[in-house]
């Protein structure tokens, strides 16, 4: 090797993985842990998103994601923060000093929506990049919406969420049924 070869400049990259996380699923945790291989610092941005009529409050969802990260062995020791947000995603990302938006994809139907959103975000802020991570094969079918529906109907959700999230769902649905 020639001594005049210069190694590429290394940059500290901060990424934001936004979502409602109502509730956080094994699929979410998979994307979070894999995203830490792409960025140096990851912010899990928990959206207010009142339009989706979340089952859990914003504070509860933030608390659940934080608890999941504490028990996630594959994410241990990485720089991950959980922060709630209620403004335009692009504004939140810029305010956080991030340059990457991380999005998970389960199916082709996800891609179409995410592709449009990435285009809009790029139009609003040219400096941002969107990185898509494909759901691992064991998590491709998991969605918070399906998890809530299964839980609401008394089904076992422990294949899709951690035991602690499953317990929170059980507790919430017992309260709603009473």
Is 0.85 surpassed by the pTM of this model? yes
Residues of each annotated binding site: 20-21, 28, 52, 89, 103-106, 114, 139-145
Whether 153 maps to a domain, the answer reads no
Burial string for 92-120 (b: 16+ CB within 10 Å, else e) reads bbbebebbbbbbbbeeeebeeebeeebee
Q: pLDDT tens digits for 84-119? A: 999 999 999 999 999 999 999 987 778 888 999 999
If you average pLDDT over every residue of the chain, what do you get?
Answer: 88
Residues of each annotated binding site for ATP: 20-21, 28, 104-106, 114, 139-145
Please identify which of the residues 52, 136, 138, 159 carries the catalytic annotation: 52
Whether 144 maps to a domain, the answer reads no
Whether 156 maps to a domain, the answer reads no
Please identify which of the residues 99, 144, 148, 162 carries the catalytic annotation: 144
The pLDDT of 47-54, averaged and rounded, is 85
Q: Is the peptide bond before 23 cis (omega within 30 degrees of 0)?
A: yes
28 belongs to the catalytic site: yes
Percent of the chain with pLDDT over 70: 88
Residue 66: give its domain's CATH number: 3.40.50.620
106 belongs to the catalytic site: yes
Please identify which of the residues 34, 106, 152, 172 carries the catalytic annotation: 106
Asked if residue 2 has pLDDT above 90, the reply is no
52 belongs to the catalytic site: yes
Asked if residue 147 has pLDDT above 50, the reply is yes
Residues of each annotated binding site for substrate: 20, 52, 89, 103
First to last CA, the chain: 72
Whether 164 maps to a domain, the answer reads no
Whether 135 maps to a domain, the answer reads yes
The pLDDT assigned to 53 comes to 87
Whether 172 maps to a domain, the answer reads no
Asked if residue 77 has pLDDT above 70, the reply is no
**Domain coverage including residue 54:** 14-139
Percent of the chain with pLDDT over 90: 72
**3 state DSSP class of 29:** helix
Burial classification of residue 7, based on how many CB atoms lie within 10 Å of its CB (0-12 exposed, 13-18 middle, 19 or more buried): exposed
Whether 61 maps to a domain, the answer reads yes
Using left for φ > 0, alpha for ψ between -120 and 50, and beta otherwise, residue 23 falls in beta
Q: How many domains does the chain have?
A: 1
Please identify which of the residues 28, 61, 148, 168 carries the catalytic annotation: 28
């Amino acid at each position: 090797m020639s001594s005049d070869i210069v190694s590429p400049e290394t940059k500290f990259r901060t990424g934001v993985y936004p979502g409602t996380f109502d509730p956080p699923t094994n699929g979410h945790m998979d994307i979070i842990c894999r995203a830490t291989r792409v960025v140096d610092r990851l912010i899990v941005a928990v959206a207010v998103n009142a339009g989706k009529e979340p089952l859990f409050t914003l504070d509860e969802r933030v608390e659940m994601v934080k608890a999941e990260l504490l028990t996630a062995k594959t994410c241990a020791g990485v720089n991950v923060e959980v922060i709630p947000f209620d403004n335009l995603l692009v504004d939140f990302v810029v305010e956080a000093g991030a340059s990457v938006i991380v999005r998970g994809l389960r199916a082709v139907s996800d891609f179409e929506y995410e592709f449009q959103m990435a285009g809009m975000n790029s139009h609003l802020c040219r400096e941002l990049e969107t990185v898509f991570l494909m759901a691992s094969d064991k998590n491709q079918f998991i969605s918070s919406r399906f998890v809530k529906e299964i839980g609401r109907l008394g089904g076992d959700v422990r294949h899709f969420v951690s035991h602690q999230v499953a317990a929170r769902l059980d507790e919430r649905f017992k309260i709603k049924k009473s």
